[in-house]
A and B are shown apart, each in its own frame.
Chain A
């Protein structure tokens, strides 16, 4: 009787472990940091792409409108892919696009913008990637939606596509 009970406990435990691991197999092994309920935009100082002067984040996000912060680089292939969607978004008057040029060479970045068009109201240089880290980003491209209260309400990892574009348009409506 005692042996049977031990066997039953062992089988139950093994079964439990099997279910847990089997369920774990179906989970994605790629972690995406979640946006913890409306985080404030970080405070930083960075160089302006065109004016070559340092500007404060308060000055960048001074208007009471929605902002889209897009992290991009000329060496990033998916950034080319998402560029037409950013151009579409730039036509929307209720939002301002801020480009964060991530660890890039200025000449290459300028060439990129000249060839594909400039969707951004302002571009800031993130030479060492520290501003992107302040935003909680971990690669390019990445896009953040900042609401009128200067809070990050949505984060998109990877290139913007049609689906993401509609989602952004819905948020800023």
Chain B
């Protein structure tokens, strides 16, 4: 009887963990797909698109997640096949320095101007 109880607990908990892992995988897939651009339906992410291309990418991403690929390696795979454009968030490279650093620079300049004006008023 005791063995049966243990067996039932182990069986149910394994199902629970499997469910948890499926949930985790599906969350990761959604996160990735929302950050992948649909190349044939401009302005839409693969997550939102129903096109042939998007459904194939969804399939590939799910397959890669189930195979144990990490988020970054899936992005890297898609970048290698389609270039940087396919990912919404661009990587920090020499081509994107301005894109990443300009807002920070503008923020610093703006902050300095405000600080200077406040000092003058005082």
Contact = CB atoms under 8 A, between A and B. Distances in A.
Which label, helix, strand, loop or mixed, suits the secondary structure of the B interface? helix
B60 interface: yes
B81 A103 contact: no
B56 A128 contact: yes
Contact of A29 (B42, B55, B57, B82): B42
Nearest to A29: B42
A12 B56 CA distance: 47
A129 B81 contact: no
B81 A134 contact: yes
A138 B59 contact: no
B39 A138 contact: yes
A139 interface: yes
B42 A30 contact: yes
Given A33-B82, A138-B82, A129 B42 contact: no
Contacts of B40: 138-139
B103 interface: no
Given A103-B52, A139-B52, A139-B53, A31 B85 contact: yes
Contact of B39 (A33, A103, A130): A33
B102 to A, nearest CB: 13
A136 B52 CA distance: 14
A33 B52 contact: no
A3 B40 CA distance: 48
Contact of B83 (A34, A130, A132): A34
Contacts, number: 42
A31 B56 contact: no
Contacts of A14: none
B63 to A, nearest CB: 7
A33 B60 CA distance: 18
Contacts of B85: 31, 33
Nearest to A42: B81
A79 to B, nearest CB: 13
A103 B54 CA distance: 13
Interface string B12-55: 00000000000000000000000000011010000000001101
Interface string A15-53: 000000000000001110110100000000000000000
Of the candidates A29, A132, A138, the one having the most CB atoms from chain B within 10 angstroms of its own CB is A138
A116 interface: no
Nearest to B54: A138
A164 interface: no
Interface string A95-110: 0000000010000000
Given A30-B42, A33-B83, A133-B81, 15 more contacts: A31-B39, A31-B85, A33-B39, A33-B82, A33-B86, A36-B83, A103-B52, A129-B55, A129-B60, A130-B59, A133-B57, A133-B60, A139-B40, A139-B52, A139-B53
